[in-house]
Chain A
Amino acid sequence: MEKTKKQEQTTTHKIGIYLWIWGLLFVLSFFSYMVDWYQFQGMLRWSLILFFMFLKAGLIMAFFMHLYWERYALVNVLLWPMTAIACFIFLMVAEFEYTVFTRLFYFVVGG
């Protein structure tokens, strides 16, 4: 009795949820392809790309990789290090802006 109960508990989720996420991933990929197809430019393009990207990444991690059902002890160990990557991105944005500034500056003014 106890054993069968435990087996029932380890049984995974309904197939519907996987199919839904699967379908959503296709639709979102199609949308991000459409961003290129219609040649959106500037802020609209970048925000749409990032929006679809994070939505897709979130769906894959939450449902396909089961993070939505995991305990916080694991989820937090995995997600907090991402802030280090975010910091690195900010540092490198400052860096490349400085590089491109010095390049343009010295090409105009001369060494």
Chain B
Amino acid sequence: MSDIKIEGYEFKPGFKGMAKDTGSDQTMFKGVHWGKAMMWIFLLSDTFIFSCFLISYMKGRGSTIIDWPNPSEVFGLHVFGVDVPLLLIAIMTFVLITSSGTMALAVKYGYEKNKKMCGWLILATAIGGLTFVGMQAFEWSKLIHEGVRPWENPFGAPQFGSFFFMITGFHGTHVSIGVIFLFIYAYKTFAGHYDQGKRGWFTTMKGDYVEIEILGLYWHFVDLVWVFIFAFFYLW
């Protein structure tokens, strides 16, 4: 990951190294598995998709002259006779960060070839993601019950619903897909596919713990997007 060696190639740090890597008559991303590079390219394109959603939300919210619904009231919960602002969202953030941390540790234990720890941590991550999706389903049904629709809502500017369902729905889809893959990878880890170098379904690539890091990149990205949604949609 950090210190790599290629026979007959001198690694230079910083921008000089970047110029040399890019101009070298070989692979450009040295020491980076091709799957990892491709995942990064995919995440870059995904960044643009989410940016477009958030920018269109910014424009929609900025150009309406009707008051925007107050998120801290709309997403507030009434528990034990007290109104707590954004309670569910805070718990969801907490759950997602927890799962991000377990994933980071899973990657670390994967590289240390610690099969058991790696597998359990991936499983914990998957359960965290599942909890998150469950709470999001609860949040959606609560808002739909209160009369929020993509074209109208009882709280303020009618655009609110369409942006809310679009952005959180797209993010929730990402989490759901991630959860499915986390369960599959947890199975593959426990079954020892990465120790034996067993090939996957659609690839001739031999199984390796670098796959855990690739999955981890995706999962951290989902968490990263949530950081932005939390800031712009729920707190702003």
Contacts and interface: CB of A to CB of B under 8 A. Distances in A.
A70 B14 CA distance: 10
Contacts of A56: 227
Contacts of B93: 29, 33
B228 A60 contact: no
A71 B29 contact: yes
A78 B46 CA distance: 12
B108 A53 contact: no
A33 B64 CA distance: 26
B58 interface: yes
A74 interface: yes
B65 A103 contact: yes
A66 to B, nearest CB: 6
Interface stretch (B96-104, B132-140, B146-154): B96-104
A5 B4 CA distance: 11
Interface string A54-91: 00110011011110011111101110011001001100
Interface residues of B, number: 63
Given A32-B235, A88-B51, A73 B30 contact: yes
Contacts of B101: 18-19, 21-22, 25, 64
A22 B24 CA distance: 37
Interface in A1-36: 6, 9-13, 15, 18-19, 21-22, 25-26, 29, 32-33, 35-36
Interface of A: 6, 9-13, 15, 18-19, 21-22, 25-26, 29, 32-33, 35-37, 39, 45-46, 49-50, 52-53, 56-57, 60-61, 63-66, 69-74, 76-78, 81-82, 85, 88-89, 92-93, 95-97, 99-100, 103-104, 107
Interface of B: 1-5, 11, 13-15, 17-18, 21-22, 28-32, 37, 40, 44, 47-48, 51-52, 55-56, 58-59, 62-65, 72, 85-86, 90, 93-94, 97, 100-101, 103-105, 107-108, 111-112, 213, 216-217, 220-221, 223-224, 227-228, 230-231, 234-236
5 contacts: A11-B112, A92-B55, A96-B62, A97-B62, A100-B63
